[in-house]
Structure 1
Amino acid sequence: MPIDPTQLAALSTILRLGSFDAAASSLNVTPSAISQRLKALEEQVGASLINRSQPCTATPLGARLAKHAEDVALLEAAALGDLRRDGALPARLTLAVPADSIATWLLSALSAVPDMLFDLRVDDQDTADAWLKRGAVSAAVTGHHRAVTGCDLHPLGALRYIATASPAFMQRYFAKGVTAQSLARAPILTFTPKDQLQSRWITAKTGATLHPPSHQMPSTHAFVDAALAGMAWGMNPETLVREHLDCGRLIALDRALPMDVPLYWQVTRVMAPALAPLTAAILGAAREQLRHAP
């Protein structure tokens, strides 16, 4: 039996806004109507779809159905084009993207597609493709050069990182040089436990696998601020620290050893036609702002 689109809309809106009342206001219906639509959908599929918490969250099946509703809305918007009804909200797209891409180049691409709403799920470039594998997003910026099954892959270029620290930090920990011994005791910055950039740079620099003390700081701009404050050293996007390096507020641990991280745009094949304008904007922004990867 086909699923009623109004019931799917109720489900996805509750999850997007976090409550039945907010969903009712957004859809211009009563909270009772929202509750009835969700109840009917749960009875049809024979399972609970929402955890009635504050805010409301999805059960695994609820998340799958909400993602299906999002995809249907995107496909409908692409098919109707200029025939979309007046006053209709833009279609919503869920993406998995690295925080550093958001902070450096990605927003210029997203802003070039004004008729779409974005729900960004932040993850490391090395693990963002996991969202595609479990069907939680329609597209992602990843660090893997092999496409997830059922996805198209587009090389974007590389985001360059520089190992940076404050002058005071350099004097304290690296007065005698950036060596394996000094790197082993100098505190580093890590974004999350998934973040391996600092460890990879250490291995490239010394050939050793080291485990220095670490601050965990899940914010791109806080990474820069913490380096400026002398808390630790970290791998920062070159575009965000170039002025600090030029002015001497930050110092590169080794100017001859930047790290270029290749990035790729992956989009599910079934959604690729509907997302073609976004893909074009992503590729255009990457050509302008990322380095050409070998």
Structure 2
Amino acid sequence: MDLDLGQLRALAAVVDAGTLEAGARQLHITTSAVSQRLRALESATGRVLLVRSRPVRPTASGERVLQLARQVSLLVADASAALGAPDDDGGASAADGRWVRPPVLPIAVNADSLATWVLPALAHLAGPEAEVCLDLRREDQSYTARLLRDGSVVGAITSDAEVVPGCSVQPLGALRYLAVATPEVADRWFAGGVTAAALGRAPVVVFDRDDELQDAWLSDHSGAEERLDPPRHHVPASVDFSEAVRLGWGWALLPQVHATADLEAGRLVLLDDAPVDVPLYWQQWKLRSPALDAVAAALTSAARSALVPPS
């Protein structure tokens, strides 16, 4: 099977952008040219690679070719940087002191890691020297691995220890959470204790509809045979999520780093003394890529101080 680099880039651009038109703008070519490249790629593979919905999405075969497209793109970028070669948009060689485009790395990160330790960990790579361009995809830690499987990202912080085919995995540590509420919420709903009856009525703040952390805690602490379904507030942003808890919207599990100052000041109280530790892992494609390895090294180094050590 003979695959063309331009066709692979067209597939990745269209999936990332969501439409053929947006993908064409990203590649600085016409929509017709993108369509021709995609048809040629489907002809070369003998497979339908895209569902032409809005946004477009890869088929099962398309996911596999998308993985290849990202792998090839990363390797080409690494080689270009090493050789000081011109970038694809007309930039010139690093050998004469001019600019070479850094590689783009799509990475999946859970929201709480993004809001606490990941950005400082990667600052030296994405800062003034811009060794890489980071395309961070926010997703619940239970679901980031699926972005590796479908080819959307080249690495992921995930709670899934099962190795994604074609990837390597290493433990980072655990992100520690505490079950907290304001004193007013605790007095209103839990004056008689953190019982199943109280947990079934007390409002809870949930990140989004993929967030299972609060429900797992409810199940562990209620002793109820049936799943409790208390009133829920959905607040899908980490900083705003924490603020909603501080404002008394309801109880929730907050990262310890977000809760400690408010607990010490008495603005929040613990509903339970035992913390909840969510193990996190770094999974990445098995590629010899200096850029990807640099991201992995930065994350694993920062995790040693930011997370609870792996058990």
**So what's the TM-score if we normalise by structure 1?**
0.84
1:168-247 aligned at under 5 Å gives the runs 168-205=184-221, 208=224, 211-215=228-232, 216-247=234-265
1:77-88 aligned at under 5 Å gives the runs 77-86=77-86, 87=91
Between stretches 41-50 and 226-235, larger displacement belongs to: 41-50
CA distance in 2, matches of 1:293, 1:90: 33
- Retained in 2: the 8 A contact 1:163–1:236? yes
Aligned to 2:94: none
% of aligned pairs identical? Answer: 41
1:83-162 aligned at under 5 Å gives the runs 83-86=83-86, 87=91, 89-114=101-126, 115-162=131-178
CA distance in 1, matches of 2:30, 2:164: 42
Quote the offset at 1:47 in angstroms. Answer: 4.1
Quote the offset at 1:30 in angstroms. Answer: 3.6
- Retained in 2: the 8 A contact 1:186–1:212? no
Between stretches 191-200 and 4-13, larger displacement belongs to: 191-200
Quote the offset at 1:203 in angstroms. Answer: 4.9
Of 268, 289, 292, the residue aligned with 1:275 is: 292
Cα distance change, pair 27–193 in 1 and its aligned pair in 2 (3 A): closer
**So what's the TM-score if we normalise by structure 2?**
0.80
CA distance in 2, matches of 1:148, 1:48: 24
Quote the offset at 1:237 in angstroms. Answer: 0.7
- Note the residue ranges of structure 1 that are not aligned, 5 or more in a row: none
CA distance in 1, matches of 2:296, 2:224: 39
- Retained in 2: the 8 A contact 1:205–1:257? no
Question: Can you list the C-alpha shifts for 1:47-100, whole angstroms capped at 9, x where unaligned?
Answer: 443444554443443343233211111122334443142335433333332211
Number of residue-to-residue matches in the alignment: 293
1:37-116 aligned at under 5 Å gives the runs 37-86=37-86, 87=91, 89-114=101-126, 115-116=131-132
Between stretches 267-276 and 256-265, larger displacement belongs to: 267-276
Aligned-partner SS, 1:93: strand
Aligned-partner SS, 2:66: helix
Quote the offset at 1:3 in angstroms. Answer: 0.9
RMSD over aligned Cα atoms: 2.8
CA distance in 2, matches of 1:29, 1:121: 26
- Note the residue ranges of structure 2 that are not aligned, 5 or more in a row: 92-99
Question: Can you list the C-alpha shifts for 1:132-164, whole angstroms capped at 9, x where unaligned?
Answer: 445553322122344344432211112111111
Between stretches 157-166 and 76-85, larger displacement belongs to: 76-85
- Retained in 1: the 8 A contact 2:199–2:222? no
- Retained in 1: the 8 A contact 2:15–2:57? yes
Q: Given residue 97 of structure 1, which amino acid in structure 2 is its aligned partner?
A: V
